[in-house]
Amino acid sequence: MTTFLLNVGNLSLDDLQRLHQGGLTLSIPKSARDAIAASHAIVARAAAGEAAVYGVNTGFGKLANQRISSAELDTLQLNLIRSHSVGVGEPLAPSVIRLMLALKAASLARGYSGVRDVVVDTLLAVYNAGLIPYVPSQGSVGASGDLAPLAHMTLALIGEGEMLENGQRVSAAAALKKAGIAPLQLAAKEGLALINGTQTSTALALHALFTFEPVLESALVIGALTVDAARGSDGPFDPRIHAVRGQPGQIDVAQYYRALLSGSEIRHSHEENDDRVQDPYCLRCQPQVVGACLDQLRHAALVLLREANAVTDNPLVFSDTGSMISGGNFHAEPVALAADAMAVAIAEVGAIAERRIAMLIDGSVSRLPPFLTSNAGLNSGFMIAHVTAASLASENKSLAHPASVDSLPTSANQEDHVSMATFAARRLQPMIQNTAHILGIELLASAQGIDFLRPLKSSVPLEEAHALLRMECATIMTDRYLAPEIERATALVHNGALSRVFRAIAGLPALWIAV
């Protein structure tokens, strides 16, 4: 296990990716402990005082006008966690839970939440022990914080909920005892501080960003392979074209394609006598389309980086003035809008890939055998594999509908505008899976196209990508059972094999360089 000091308020995207992967032993700096103690002292004074302070000695939401006696303040926090643990659906992935634990600890450790350091220490201990609280994926509207999922996480911390062990639900109390972690006993405001906040929606959106990164890099490799399979031109990737427009993502994507195609014998073979004046948009406009998607993803990464470092519970404690101020940092609108932008970008990467498959199987455009088979008619080739890609691209269009434009008031209209950020981020995973499958089908199709052009070779990186596929799937000489091969090709998209081909090219700007 690697020791990792949480630089609270200043975590980088690389830090977040490491937290997502796990295998770390987390700690916080002494300066954070000093800030935690200062803010807790203010909450302790409020708890001992007579004035009504939301979250300390009042009810919650619409019940904020109900005063709670000093003898019942701890019970108030415990009841809050119990009553808010109402999630449904499949459990969140372990990597998402790891991020939730780490992000909540980092947020509370900034010293604006009024909790004791034992709260932060328990979050860190659960992360460090590799424990995964059982958190259902559905039940948050992304305002007043991710209440239900964070309540389930907290329920596990106090020993009343459940943990996941090898995919099975087990008693949290037993798991904590086995790990030597004392169940957390909540004091004034601590339950509210733990469940207010955007850590679930932020973790889900970061999970999507990190899982889509190798898929996007694979899309660039496969898109370039399709250019060569269709004997397309590399002229549209000339840097001068993109410089005069000035869109940074477009400029970078054009550079990616130039590097991926450099040295291709196939390109050289038709450079002088190509009678096609212009390639179809799905080839020619890849920098414009995928570059625009990259810009959206870079912006989303920046928003999520800010949110991961933010303090998002309520009320907030300002120890320099001794103030406790109620606000609305728990409203996850920034995350919702970022996730919606990611959804559109993910859908578009899949959509242009589907168009490239359609182009490859259309012999009148690609100048390859119809449906990429030598004996069309007897063989259907890639005819129906393309239909699968089309169905997935169409499904992504529905999933890409913005979640943030929907709002359903809750808590008797006290919470009358919500972000739907948690769903906005959660729905990204099936979209990524759909896009990865489209790209897996395109990889099979483009490699088949390259095989028709032999003995000519493509560029070094594209030949490496072709070889990776051929280790898993042979050239399709006659019709055969393709579904397992689509899965194997898709695995190359998901597992980083094609991503490593992309990253091995020296001098390319990183995807998230703008962050």
What is residue 258's DSSP assignment?
H
Angstrom distance (rounded) from CA 420 to CA 371: 42
Catalytic-labelled residue, pool 54, 127, 134, 256: 54
Angstrom distance (rounded) from CA 76 to CA 193: 13
Q: Pseudo-torsion of CA 291, 297, 299, 302, nearest 10°?
A: -140
* Cβ–Cβ under 8 Å, residues 332 and 422: yes
Secondary structure (DSSP) of 420-442: -HHHHHHTHHHHHHHHHHHHHHH
HSE-up (13 A, CA, CB side) for residue 15: 21
User: How far does Cα 246 stand from its chain's mean position?
Assistant: 27
Angstrom distance (rounded) from CA 187 to CA 382: 63
Note if 54 is an active site residue. Answer: yes
Angstrom distance (rounded) from CA 398 to CA 138: 19
Query: Residue type for 404, please?
Result: S
Element housing 133 (H / E)? strand 132-133
Query: Residue type for 340, please?
Result: D
Distances (CA, A) of 279 to 168, 226, 227, 264, 352: 53, 12, 9, 17, 14
Q: Report strand pairing: 2-5 vs 24-27.
A: parallel
Angstrom distance (rounded) from CA 224 to CA 267: 11
Task: Give the catalytic positions in this structure.
Answer: 54
